[in-house]
Amino acid sequence: MNINKKVLLFFVSIGLIIVIFLTFLIQNRVNDSLVLEENFTQKSIKKLYHVFYSNSKYLKNIGYEYSKNNELNLYLEQKDASSLEEYFEDNYMKELGLSHFAIFDKNKNYVYGDSYDMSSDELFDTPSELISFMKEKTLEKYIKSTNNIKYMTLDYEKVIFHIRKLLDKKGETLGYMYFARTIDSDFLSDMSSLLQNYISLIPSHFENDPKVINFNNVIDIEYELYRANKEVLFSYVNLYDENTNKDFYIRMKSSRDLYQEIISSISTILFGVSLCFVILIVLFYIFMSGIFTKRIINITNSVKDVVNNQNLEIKIQTSYDDEITYLANKLNEMFITIDAKQHEEIKKERDFLQSILDTQDNIVVIAKGNKIHSVNKKFTDVFSSQENFLTNIALLDAESHRDFVNIAEDYSKKEKTAKFKMVDSDKYFTFNVSKIDLKRHLISINDVSTFNEKILNLENRVLIDPLTGVYNKETMTDIVSETLKTQEFHLCIVDIDFFKKVNDNYGHLIGDYILRDMTQLVISIIPKEDLFGRIGGEEFMFIIKETKRENILSITNRVRIAVEQYEFVYDDVKLSITLSMGCTKNELDDDYKSIYKRADIGLYRAKHAGRNQIVYI
C-alpha cells in the first residue's frame, strides 16, 4: 500500500469516527426537539379545547338560567308559541351569542325557536334536521352528560350544542330546550389569533396513529400529528358529530420554529466540522502536490477531458524527462490514432444513415438536443430547407412560442396527436417522436391536409353543446381540471330559476329558445377571456379568470341583472327569467370535485334564500 493510500485511509478513519459521533449527537438533539415540539402542541390543543369547553359551559349556564324561569315554563306548559315569540326580544340571539335556540314539549314536538347567522346578522327558521334530531334521538344521554362537549351539523355547519330538560314544580318533564353556537369562520379566526396558529375544520384526513391527552382530568382528547415538512406541523383533534354519527376534525397548522432552530444549529456544527476536514485535505494536497501528484492529476484531467468532451485533439502537456512524461507522450500518440479511426467510422455511419433516411416515403427529422441534426430527401422536397421549415411552421398548440423539438418531445408523452401547418398555406401535418439515444430523437412527419377539416369537425362535435353553441359539460370539466394546475380563477354555477314551469307552460321548444338566446346574451356581456358552458338542462358554468371577490360579484351581478331585465319574445309569448348563482375561488388543494361542490353549495343557498341572487363561498 503506497503512502497516498495510507494517508487517505487515515483521513477516512477520522472522518468515519466524526460522522458516527455527530450522527449520534444529531439524532439525540432531533429526538429531544420532537418531544419538546409535541409538548408545545399538546398545550395548544388544550388551549383549543378550553375554548370549546368554555363555549359549552356558557351554553349550559344559559340553559340553567332559562330552566328556572317560571313564566317561560308556563308558556311551554300551555304550548303558547305566540307568547314565547313575544317573550323573546328581536335581538336576543345576538345578545346571547347563540346560533340556534329551540323549545320542544315533553313529547319532543317543536314549539318555538330561531336560528341566527352571526356573519350576516339575520334570523332564520329552525332547521328541519334539528327538529328530526330532537324527535329521533334519546335525549337523556345528552342531558345527563355534564362534562363532555357535544357537536353536530346544522345547515352544513358544525355547532356546539347543549340540551336542557325543563321541569314543572312537581319535578315532571315539561319539555326541552336546545342551545347551540356555530363553529363558523369568525369563531375559527378568533381561535387562530388566540393560539397564533391557523385553525380550520375538515371532514377527514390521512390517519396516523392517534394519541390521547387529558383535559382538566375530565375529558380525554384524541389527536394526531403530521409533520408535513421542516417548516409546518399539522395537528388533528378528533371530534364526534352526534347528528351524522361520524368523526370530524379540527386541524391546527403550526410553524416548527424550534425544530428549524435546532436544524440550523446542527447545520452550523456540520459546516464547522466540514471546514476543518477540508482544511486538512488542502494541507495534504499541498504537501503531496509539491512532490508528484500535480503531474499525475494533469494527465488524469486531460484523459477525462478527452472522454467527457469526446475530443481526441486534446494534448497532454509534458515538462520533465521521466517515466511520467514517457507515459504522457504515448497517450498523445494513442489519441491521434484513435481520432483518425473514429472520423473514418463516423463518416461511414453518417452516409449509411442518410441513405436509409432518403429511402423513406414520409418526412423524417433527426433532432439532437434542441436543434435539427439531419433530414431526409423528402423533407427537402417539401420544405426546401431547415430555415424555411422553422420560420414558416405554425404549431397548433397553446405554447407555440416554444421550440419545435421541445414541443415534439412533449407530445411524444401524450395520447393527443401533435399537429402543425405551414404559414399562409392549407398544408397540415402530424408528427410523432421516438428516442434514439439520450441526446437524439427521430421525428416522423405526415401530411394530413386532406383529413384536417374532417378532424376539426369531429372535434367540434365532441366539445360543443349543439343547442346553445357553447362548451358542453365534458369540455368544461376538462378546462376546470387543467386550469386548477396553472392559475387562480373563480368558478360559478348558474341555474335558471323555475325553468321547469317554462317547459310545462309553454313547451320545450320555447324552453330551448330561451336556453339558446340567454346563452348568447350572457356571452355578449362577460369578458372575452372568460368561459361559459352548459353542463346540463338549465344549468350552466362560468370560468372567470379574475381573482378579486368584488370583481367577481360585479361581473356576475351584471349578468344576473341583464338577464332579469331582458324580455324573451317568441310570437305572442313574452317571458322574463332570473338566474341564481353560486361562486367560489379555487384553493391550493382543489380538484374538480371539491371546487364544483363549493360552488354548488353556493347555488343551493342562493335558491334557498329566494333565488335571483348570487352567493359567494
Give Cα separations from 493 to 39, 481, 484, 540, 571 (angstroms): 46, 15, 16, 6, 31
CB of 492 within 8 A of CB of 580? no
**CA–CA gap between residue 324 and residue 317 (Å, rounded):** 11
Average pLDDT over residues 219-223: 89
Beta strands in 522-599 (DSSP E): 531-536, 539-544, 568-570, 573-575, 579-585
Closest CA to 160 of 220, 98, 116, 104: 98
Phi, psi of 203 (to 5 degrees): -75, -30
Task: Centre a 10 Å sphere on the Cβ of residue 37 and count the other Cβ atoms it contains.
Answer: 19
Say how many CA atoms lie within 13 Å of 148 toward its Cβ.
14
CB of 88 within 8 A of CB of 80? no
Each residue of 72-117: pLDDT tens digit?
899 998 888 889 888 887 788 888 999 999 999 999 999 999 999 9
Give Cα separations from 517 to 1, 182, 513, 522 (angstroms): 91, 43, 6, 9
Find the helix packing angle between 549-565 and 508-525, rounded to 10°: 140
| The three cell numbers locating residue 121 | 346578522
**CA–CA gap between residue 83 and residue 270 (Å, rounded):** 77
Q: Which residue has the higher pLDDT, 31 or 542?
A: 542
Which pLDDT score, from 0 to 100, does residue 292 have? 66
- Flag the least confident range among 177-186, 395-404, 439-448: 395-404
Which pLDDT score, from 0 to 100, does residue 399 have? 47
Q: How confident is the model at residue 262 (pLDDT cuts 50, 70, 90)?
A: confident
- Report the side by side order of strands in the sheet with 428-435: 371-375, 363-368, 440-447, 428-435, 418-422, 393-395
Average pLDDT over residues 26-31: 83
Alpha helices in 215-374 (DSSP H): 257-288, 294-309, 323-358
The amino acid at 141: K
Residues ≥6 apart with Cβ < 8 Å to 142? 150, 162, 163, 242
Closest CA to 431 of 387, 378, 365, 381: 365
Give Cα separations from 447 to 367, 385, 400, 406, 428 (angstroms): 19, 17, 19, 20, 6
DSSP symbol at 403: -
For the chain, the structural domain boundaries read: 35-255, 360-456, 464-616
Q: Which residue has the higher pLDDT, 169 or 179?
A: 179
CA angle 5, 7, 11 (to 5 degrees): 110
**CA–CA gap between residue 315 and residue 318 (Å, rounded):** 9
Give percent above pLDDT 90 in the chain.
Answer: 45
Whether the predicted pLDDT of 33 surpasses 50 = yes
CATH topology agreement for domains 35-255 and 360-456:
yes
CB of 294 within 8 A of CB of 324? no
Average pLDDT over residues 423-431: 72
| The three cell numbers locating residue 288 | 503531496
Which pLDDT score, from 0 to 100, does residue 464 have? 93
Q: Which of 200-204, 315-319, 390-394, 460-464 has the highest mean pLDDT?
A: 200-204
CB crowding 82-94: b at 16 or more within 10 Å, else e: eebeeebeeeebe
Which pLDDT score, from 0 to 100, does residue 453 have? 54
Element (H, E) at 322: none
Mean pLDDT of the residues in the chain: 85
Domain 464-616 fold is: Alpha-Beta Plaits (3.30.70)
Each residue of 598-614: pLDDT tens digit?
999 999 999 999 999 99
Whether the predicted pLDDT of 237 surpasses 80 = yes
DSSP symbol at 242: T
Question: Taking the mean position of all CA atoms in its chain, how far away is CA 293?
Answer: 56
Give Cα separations from 332 to 165, 208, 272, 304, 322 (angstroms): 102, 64, 43, 13, 16
CB of 179 within 8 A of CB of 63? yes
The CATH code of the domain at 35-255 is: 3.30.450.220
Which pLDDT score, from 0 to 100, does residue 308 have? 77
SS3 152: strand
**CA–CA gap between residue 611 and residue 494 (Å, rounded):** 11
Each residue of 314-330: pLDDT tens digit?
777 766 677 777 777 77
Residue indicated by cell numbers 362534562: 147
Phi, psi of 401 (to 5 degrees): -75, -10
Which pLDDT score, from 0 to 100, does residue 65 have? 92
**CA–CA gap between residue 195 and residue 187 (Å, rounded):** 12
Give percent above pLDDT 70 in the chain.
Answer: 87
| The three cell numbers locating residue 518 | 340567454
Task: Centre a 10 Å sphere on the Cβ of residue 207 and count the other Cβ atoms it contains.
Answer: 12
Whether the predicted pLDDT of 408 surpasses 70 = no
Tell me which of 3.40.109.10, 3.50.50.60, 3.30.450.20, 3.40.50.80 is the CATH number of domain 360-456: 3.30.450.20
**CA–CA gap between residue 202 and residue 397 (Å, rounded):** 40
The amino acid at 2: N
CB of 188 within 8 A of CB of 200? yes
Average pLDDT over residues 16-40: 85
Phi, psi of 20 (to 5 degrees): -65, -45
**CA–CA gap between residue 599 and residue 583 (Å, rounded):** 5
